Amino acid sequence: MIGILDYGMGNLRSVQKALQRVGAEAQTIGRPEAVALCDRVVLPGVGAFADGMAHLRATGMDQAVLDYIATGRPLMGICLGMQLLFGASQEGATEASQPVPGLGVLPGRVVRFEEDQGPGQARLKVPHMGWNRIDWQSGTALFDGLTPGGHVYFVHAYYCQPEHPADTAATTTYGRPFCSAVHRDNIWATQFHPEKSQQVGLRILKNFVERAADRPSDPSTG
């Protein structure tokens, strides 16, 4: 059974419907103690990083997620859910030197797109919204069976900067290349919304359901 974590910040129904379309038994989970009973977990999310962390703590889902990840079972973060897995974010910080702490299971930080791209360059529209191409690393189970150059749907003003390059599973160019998916051990995550990305997104979710545990990342990295 796949648990979709309900901590008050997710587009739960669309994720659930997409997982059901690929044949998965998926239900929303609102109690921290129920997380341990799941075979796979999806951490979705829309909204601001600081609010997301506050909701995780208030519901007790923060420790439930950490305990679940420690079991080695697969977890997938989506959009804000990917960002919350990182160490800290600029979003919501009162000072640049004091970013908002995240779950800290992935080393790195979350930063904002810069509108100013430099002399002679057009200003970047932020947030990044709409369809864009992803370029993934070979050997990542999440993208098995997909034709290179597929397009997926994004809505975000901030993006993740993994500390270890090996954690980057896919990149996308918006002004400059940024990390649009990660994989480390039993953790997979996408900055884009697979549940809104038509057939490409459905294949990614199907791969998470069927193949995510088949190919652990190299333990020597990171």
| Residues recognised as catalytic | 79, 193, 195
Cα 181 from Cα 190, distance rounded (Å): 4
Q: How far is CA 68 from CA 43, 88, 127, 162, 217, in A?
A: 12, 20, 32, 21, 18
Residue 80 corresponds to which amino acid?
A: L
From the number of C-beta atoms within 10 Å of its C-beta (0-12, 13-18, 19+), residue 147 rates as exposed
3-state secondary structure of 87: strand
Bridge-partner residues for 170, per DSSP?
136, 181
**Alpha-carbon dihedral angle through residues 209, 215, 216, 220, given to the nearest 10 degrees:** -160
Q: How far is CA 60 from CA 34, 46, 65, 101, in A?
A: 11, 18, 9, 16
The vertex-195 CA angle with 192 and 201, nearest 5°, equals 70
Helix (H) or strand (E) holding 131: strand 128-133
Q: Are 191 and 154 in contact (CB under 8 A)?
A: yes
